[in-house]
Chain A
Amino acid sequence: MSAVGIRGERDQGQDVRTSNVTAVMAIANVVKTSLGPQGLDKMLVDEIGDVVITNDGATILKQLEVEHPAAKVIVELSQLQDKEVGDGTTSVVVLAAELLKRANELIKIKVHPTTIISGYKLAARQAVKYIQSHLVHKITEDDTEILINAAKTSMNSKVIGPESHIFAKLAVDAVRLVKTQGAISGKPKYPIQSINIVKSHGQSSNQSELVKGYVIQLQRASQQMVTKVKNAKVACLDINLNKFKMQMGVQILVDDPNNLEKIRKKEMDVLKERIQLLLSAGANVILTSKGMDDLANKYLVEAGAIGLRRVPKDHLRRIAKATGAKVITTFANEETGESFDASSLGEAEEVYEEAIGDNDYIFFKGMKREQSASIILRGANELMTDEIERSIHDSLCVVKRTLESGSVVAGGGAVEMALSIYLDDYSRTLDTTEQIAVAEFAEALTAIPKILATNAAKDSIDLISKLRVLHSKSQQLQVDEKGFKYSGLDLIKGEVRHNLRHGVLEPTVSKVKSLKFATEAAITILRIDDMIKLEPKKEQMPGRH
């Protein structure tokens, strides 16, 4: 194909597919050992020497510097799963890789890629339908035990696994605290981004707690300020509370030494008047996203108010929203003077500073408008708290999705095995060439329980066959009384058990989405039969090969 004459490399047909599949497999192999409750962690060191220890698939892949374009698709896939679901980032990658590997084998035996693609699409559609109709377990919002179990399942694989009973409850309570009614749909919404996670290292991780209110890592602007204000009136400012300075381009020329002192005094007076405006409006907790100098502190100390400076803007906005305050950007009023309206103040029952570990934190409690939740995480070191934060985030997502979708499925490979058997049977009803692709899809699904068992150092072949028997039995029965269809792996004891009863649960959405995403990603890569890599531009004579 040299005659095409491109500046760069070009691969076609089987070469591309094989190289794509190899790249994807390489990525999957990296995260494979992190799958499941007995999965192990990765230590990632970046170029500046920062260390991350995690077993969260999305985080691992984000840290890897992937060059191969097909591998990038897979990395994006895990990122997508993280964004849309928040959990199952590892399994989606493993599944996509398995699908691709099997597709490549099929292509080698001369099955046309388009046949495989339509087969995979069909299989994914059927699988999703089967999950919805047979495998889900409906729950209600008040079903705390199920929610806690779902959160626990997501934590099991993480470093906080042993303390999952504490953290699961924490996560469920936090999500419940931030529940709001959607403005338009009227459906309850769970905006988990308004759950504030604060990390402070020191003490053990099970000392972590949930605080009803807003916690932010800040110190009072001055040590002389009071540490606690009750019935707080909160002013949220986006104004510099420093000694006033003229803007750029304005020069102050003094020819009379008396004037010098007056100008200085004027500068101070501008600030003093501003503080006075705030205080006379009744504010006793003043937050600003900008600076607050000693002069301002002095006035606030005298008035017995708390001043907080350099509050990050997003925190400022959230506090303003929760307390009912308005973020004020200027004092100017329409009469070219300055004023401050008391209606811009927010309210909270109490605001106080407290030290946790080495750091000082400001607590806002009993805020007027909405309840907010903060989770204070403790841990032996920063790596630990970082990993706990990621795990908590996953669990919060799981709880949120469970509440939203109102149904769960059994974990521990139960869904995958049930689908595998179902699709295998289904493939035998197809008389087209897609049959073979559907059958491979069914086989690919067993990769998840297999890896789960292998990671737990159990005999995967033995366990898988037992699992298969139970699921096959369940699908032959008219009525599945004993709930064989919920059979999954117990990776501690190495047995097969009823996972719904033992509280190994995952939100349905997570499973459905990861199936869909994995299939889509596999298809995206399968459809590629030509890869062109252009060389970085350099000066070259136009030429022909």
Chain B
Amino acid sequence: MSQPPQASQQQSQKANTFNKSEKTKDIRLTNIQAAKAVSDAVRTSLGPRGMDKMIQDAKGQVLITNDGATILKQMDLVHPTAKMLVEISHAQDVEAGDGTTSVVVFAGALLKSCEVLLEKGIHPTTISEGFQFALENALEALDELKKPVDLDNKQQLIECVQTALSSKVVSSNSTQLAPLAVDAVLRIVDPLKPNNVDLKDIKIVKKLGGTIDDTELVEGIVFSNQKASQTAGGPQKIENAKVALLQFCLSAPKTDVENSIAIKDYTEMDKILKEERKYIIDLVKKIVASGANVLLIQKSILRDAVNDLSLHFLAKKGIMVVKDIEREDVEFISKTLCLVPVAHIDQLTPEKLGTAGLVETVFLNDESKVLRITGVPAQSKALTILVRGSNQLVLDEADRSIHDALCVVRSLVKSKGLIPGGGAPEIHLSLKLTQKANTLTGARSMCVRAFAEALEVIPYTLAENAGLNPINVVTELRNRHLKSQKFAGIGMKKNNIVDDITTEQVVQPILVTRSALSLATECVRMILKIDDLVISAR
């Protein structure tokens, strides 16, 4: 492996710094440095006025986003500690779906205060415990801000989603996307398990073209890549559909590669032709007998899913054929249409069919086509969101934003509590913790105070990103909260401090903040406890 001299020099330099174990204090500091750098990298994306990052990946693909989790995932960080921060942002994404940037920013701020505490000679374990203590207190104090959520009060939920979307590229469409996300999640809530929802039941289908305004919620299924077969002039629209999901092929069986059929007489030629037709006709007859009029055929790499002959017969019988259904979609389709996939023609019975009011090829406004299945059974618990966007970048970002929006609603379903946004909870907690710190003595008091200060990074960054003077904003917020205006926060509509941020409909699920605080604290405690970094040579 020959490398250019410069690269090998770099490599040896790295090897020098890595292949020996470093001094405990140094390693802790470098770890903190690395993690802080990561948090600095995403902090400009925090909040509604946050900026975007443009990332060109190793393949040259360009991505524009301000979703913290996505940025970090794409950045391909190499430092092991930095990777931990990527992990927590991912964990936040899974748990709450939103607040992926704030968790990293907060972790960075906590680490910064650790540095100061470490310099003062406080033992890492004490700091770690102190932070844990502070966290417990913070979570308690957070509940003071909590407002109960009523899942029937849609307006409240929509406001919440709008706050989450306000920082995204698609923020201008939030009035449209927010109700959509709320409707989607509320529809799939299972009355038996009212405290959780499975977002897998919402399929997001992306179709390039149109604008984000054309995004819609479909109670049913939309296929953007698969189409109803047109080759033999098959139907494009079927009402009162009986849908069968086939996992076998409708084409003549082929001989194995080694075998072949030998013909000795010309009469046998006719026979072969007829046999093939007969085979297909039998298949078609059985399908007709089952009563199915829409066939979804799973993708197969072994054989053609259909051939001209079967398409022709099915078209004649007025049966719609959709081929190339992906394996991973099978479960979703079964769930939505309440059908059972059929693996062999003999098992195709009327009970295994799903029903749908309407299956049709729909022309979207820009003349592209999708296949849409609507009028699904009432007990069906799955639905589709069809996302449109004028270019791939916007489309992908809209997809991510809708995912975030859905997560926000889910977190409200999970823990039914709302807190104000706009930096209000952080300032509130910070004040409470400072008061708490004053009642304590020793190193723990220092740690709690440091934790309280770190919390202020969120309103500080919000203000900075919005082009406000962060120092003025944070101090004024502190002041107001001291006067027990505990809902005072930064309003982005007019870029000023608002007495009650909830009047501007800036609210977020309590789960987001709770999980962000816990995740960040845990991660920081872990980083603190590392005192050695050994990289095994390869």
Interface of A toward B, CB cutoff 8 Å: 1, 3-8, 16, 69-70, 72-73, 76, 80, 83-84, 112-115, 121, 191, 193, 238, 246, 248-255, 259, 262-263, 265-267, 270, 326-330, 332, 334, 336-337, 517, 524, 527-537, 539-544
Whether the pair B14, A537 counts as a contact (CB closer than 8 A) is: no
Interface centre among B30, B82, B269 (most CB of A within 10 A): B269
Separation of A80 and B232 alpha carbons in the complex (Å): 34
Say yes or no: is B23 at the interface (Cβ < 8 Å to chain A). no
Whether the pair B75, A252 counts as a contact (CB closer than 8 A) is: no
Separation of A238 and B312 alpha carbons in the complex (Å): 11
Whether the pair A6, B76 counts as a contact (CB closer than 8 A) is: yes
Say yes or no: is B263 at the interface (Cβ < 8 Å to chain A). yes
14 pairs of residues in contact across A and B, judged by CB atoms under 8 Å: A3-B37, A4-B34, A4-B38, A4-B75, A83-B209, A326-B233, A328-B312, A330-B309, A336-B281, A517-B390, A524-B169, A530-B41, A534-B55, A541-B18
Query: Provided the pairs A5-B82, A263-B266, A330-B312 are in contact, do residues A532 and B169 lie with their beta carbons within 8 angstroms?
Result: no
Separation of A251 and B255 alpha carbons in the complex (Å): 12
Whether the pair A534, B76 counts as a contact (CB closer than 8 A) is: yes
Whether the pair B308, A330 counts as a contact (CB closer than 8 A) is: yes
Q: Which residue of A262, A528, A535 contacts B266 across the interface (Cβ within 8 Å)?
A: A262
Separation of A527 and B79 alpha carbons in the complex (Å): 28
- Closest chain B CB from A316 CB (angstroms): 11
Query: Provided the pairs A5-B78, A544-B17 are in contact, do residues A266 and B11 lie with their beta carbons within 8 angstroms?
Result: no
Separation of A229 and B236 alpha carbons in the complex (Å): 33
Separation of A255 and B262 alpha carbons in the complex (Å): 12
Say yes or no: is B254 at the interface (Cβ < 8 Å to chain A). yes
Query: Provided the pairs A238-B308, A250-B272, A253-B264 are in contact, do residues A334 and B58 lie with their beta carbons within 8 angstroms?
Result: no
Give every chain A residue within 8 A of B76 (Cβ-Cβ).
Answer: 6-8, 534
Give every chain A residue within 8 A of B273 (Cβ-Cβ).
Answer: 270
A-contact bits for B13-29, CB 8 A (1 contact / 0 none): 01101100000000000
Whether the pair A259, B266 counts as a contact (CB closer than 8 A) is: yes
- Closest chain A CB from B81 CB (angstroms): 9
Say yes or no: is B159 at the interface (Cβ < 8 Å to chain A). no
Mark out the residues of chain B between 141 and 160 whose CB falls within 8 Å of any chain A CB in the assembled complex.
Answer: none
Main secondary structure of the interface of A (DSSP, over half): mixed
Say yes or no: is B416 at the interface (Cβ < 8 Å to chain A). no
Whether the pair A73, B393 counts as a contact (CB closer than 8 A) is: yes
Whether the pair A263, B269 counts as a contact (CB closer than 8 A) is: yes
Say yes or no: is B311 at the interface (Cβ < 8 Å to chain A). yes
- Closest chain B CB from A131 CB (angstroms): 19
Query: Provided the pairs A83-B366, A249-B259, A336-B274 are in contact, do residues A3 and B33 lie with their beta carbons within 8 angstroms?
Result: yes
Query: Provided the pairs A336-B274, A529-B52 are in contact, do residues A327 and B231 lie with their beta carbons within 8 angstroms?
Result: yes
Whether the pair A251, B263 counts as a contact (CB closer than 8 A) is: yes
Mark out the residues of chain B between 24 and 73 whose CB falls within 8 Å of any chain A CB in the assembled complex.
Answer: 30, 33-34, 36-38, 40-41, 44, 49, 51-60, 62, 64, 66
- Closest chain A CB from B110 CB (angstroms): 17
Say yes or no: is B391 at the interface (Cβ < 8 Å to chain A). yes
Whether the pair B260, A250 counts as a contact (CB closer than 8 A) is: yes
Q: Which residue of A84, A191, A250, A528 contacts B52 across the interface (Cβ within 8 Å)?
A: A528
Give every chain A residue within 8 A of B277 (Cβ-Cβ).
Answer: 332, 336
Whether the pair A259, B274 counts as a contact (CB closer than 8 A) is: no
Interface of B toward A, CB cutoff 8 Å: 1, 11, 14-15, 17-18, 30, 33-34, 36-38, 40-41, 44, 49, 51-60, 62, 64, 66, 74-80, 82, 169, 172, 209, 231-233, 254-255, 259-266, 269-270, 272-274, 277-278, 281, 308-309, 311-313, 316, 366-367, 390-391, 393-394, 465-467, 535, 538
- Closest chain A CB from B173 CB (angstroms): 12
Whether the pair A334, B313 counts as a contact (CB closer than 8 A) is: yes
Whether the pair B56, A534 counts as a contact (CB closer than 8 A) is: yes
Whether the pair B34, A544 counts as a contact (CB closer than 8 A) is: yes
Query: Provided the pairs A251-B260, A536-B58, A541-B538 are in contact, do residues A246 and B78 lie with their beta carbons within 8 angstroms?
Result: no
Separation of A375 and B470 alpha carbons in the complex (Å): 65
- Closest chain A CB from B80 CB (angstroms): 7
Give every chain A residue within 8 A of B18 (Cβ-Cβ).
Answer: 541, 543-544
Which single residue of chain B is at the shortest CB-CB distance from A13? B44
- Closest chain A CB from B255 CB (angstroms): 4
Give every chain B residue within 8 A of A80 (Cβ-Cβ).
Answer: 390-391
Separation of A533 and B393 alpha carbons in the complex (Å): 16
**10 tightest CB-CB pairs across the interface, nearest first?**
A112-B467, A543-B14, A3-B37, A529-B51, A266-B266, A69-B62, A329-B308, A114-B49, A5-B79, A249-B255
Which single residue of chain A is at the shortest CB-CB distance from B209? A83
Whether the pair B54, A114 counts as a contact (CB closer than 8 A) is: no
Query: Provided the pairs A83-B366, A329-B231 are in contact, do residues A528 and B281 lie with their beta carbons within 8 angstroms?
Result: no
Separation of A528 and B466 alpha carbons in the complex (Å): 14
Separation of A69 and B52 alpha carbons in the complex (Å): 14
Query: Provided the pairs A3-B36, A336-B274 are in contact, do residues A329 and B312 lie with their beta carbons within 8 angstroms?
Result: yes
Whether the pair A113, B269 counts as a contact (CB closer than 8 A) is: no
- Closest chain B CB from A83 CB (angstroms): 7
- Closest chain B CB from A375 CB (angstroms): 20
- Closest chain B CB from A368 CB (angstroms): 17
Whether the pair A251, B391 counts as a contact (CB closer than 8 A) is: no
Q: Which residue of B14, B266, B466 contacts A265 across the interface (Cβ within 8 Å)?
A: B266
Interface centre among A72, A254, A337, A543 (most CB of B within 10 A): A543
Interface centre among B260, B390, B394 (most CB of A within 10 A): B390
Given A76-B391, A249-B254, A332-B309; 13 other pairs, CB 8 A cutoff: A246-B269, A263-B263, A266-B269, A332-B313, A336-B281, A528-B51, A530-B44, A530-B53, A532-B56, A533-B56, A534-B76, A537-B58, A543-B18
Whether the pair A250, B263 counts as a contact (CB closer than 8 A) is: yes
Whether the pair A534, B308 counts as a contact (CB closer than 8 A) is: no
Which single residue of chain B is at the shortest CB-CB distance from A184? B363
Give every chain B residue within 8 A of A1 (Cβ-Cβ).
Answer: 37, 40-41
- Closest chain B CB from A160 CB (angstroms): 27
Whether the pair A524, B64 counts as a contact (CB closer than 8 A) is: yes
Give every chain B residue within 8 A of A540 (Cβ-Cβ).
Answer: 11
Interface centre among A112, A193, A535, A539 (most CB of B within 10 A): A112
Separation of A341 and B79 alpha carbons in the complex (Å): 72
Whether the pair A114, B466 counts as a contact (CB closer than 8 A) is: yes
